[in-house]
Amino acid sequence: MPRLTHNADTSQRILDIAERLMQTRGYNAFSYADIAQSLRVTKASLHYHFPTKGELGQRLIQRYRQAFMRALADIDASGADSLERLRRYGGLYLQVLRNDRMCLCGMLAAEYTTLPKPMKAELKEFFDENERWLMAVLEQGRAARELRFGGTARDVARHLMSSLEGAMMLARSYDDVARFEATANRLLAELAVK
């Protein structure tokens, strides 16, 4: 088998394959052997780029979080009202589900107790950043009278994120994306000013 050279493209290919495996199987259900087989290289070549699976997992979460935060920045830059921004947020989850995958961090949350500490910290940061973004959108929406909800923006943000992550799991269990869409639509309908 060929050896991989140390370059950014090779690292990205490894990350792309590992991300797909993690989003479809979970962290504990894939190994370096699975990645090596896909790339047709030795496991030792993978260890050159990512010495441990924990380091690979940590880098995957960082990359996923950065991409997700760029998507949220694009939503903000669109100038859409608060309800539409929340709709587009749900659309990020829907897009992943339509690609027969799960939210990377949602998959990892299910395996949280078995993850290395650095991965746990990165995972919490992903959810914390999502929560902060949602809180800001909710607070702006309430101030602009575009959204209506009781309680704190933090509680509603946590409810939204938890509900969307859970809706993904159930939709996947039934192989029915419409189940996710129905939940997301209901969540937004409850926030809309009537």
Can you read off the two tokens belonging to residue 10? 């090779």
39, 13 contact by CB (below 8 A)? yes
167, 183 contact by CB (below 8 A)? yes
Domain carrying residue 66: 54-191
**pLDDT per residue rounded down to tens, the chain (194 residues):** 444 545 668 899 999 999 999 999 999 999 999 999 999 888 988 999 999 999 999 999 999 999 999 999 999 999 999 999 999 999 999 999 999 999 999 999 999 999 999 999 999 999 999 999 999 999 999 999 999 999 999 999 999 999 999 999 999 999 999 999 999 999 999 999 98
List b or e across 9-47, with b for residues whose CB sees 16 or more CB atoms inside 10 angstroms.
Answer: ebbebbbebbbbbbbeeebeebebeebbeebebbeebbe
The pLDDT score that the predictor gives to residue 2 is 44
CATH of the domain at 19: 1.10.10.60
- All residues at 6 or more sequence positions from 145 whose CB lies less than 8 Å from its CB, including other chains: 193
Is the same domain home to 103 and 120?
A: yes
Is the same domain home to 35 and 68?
A: no
The pLDDT score that the predictor gives to residue 10 is 86
Is the same domain home to 109 and 167?
A: yes
Is the same domain home to 2 and 58?
A: no
The pLDDT score that the predictor gives to residue 41 is 87
- pTM of the model as a whole: 0.92
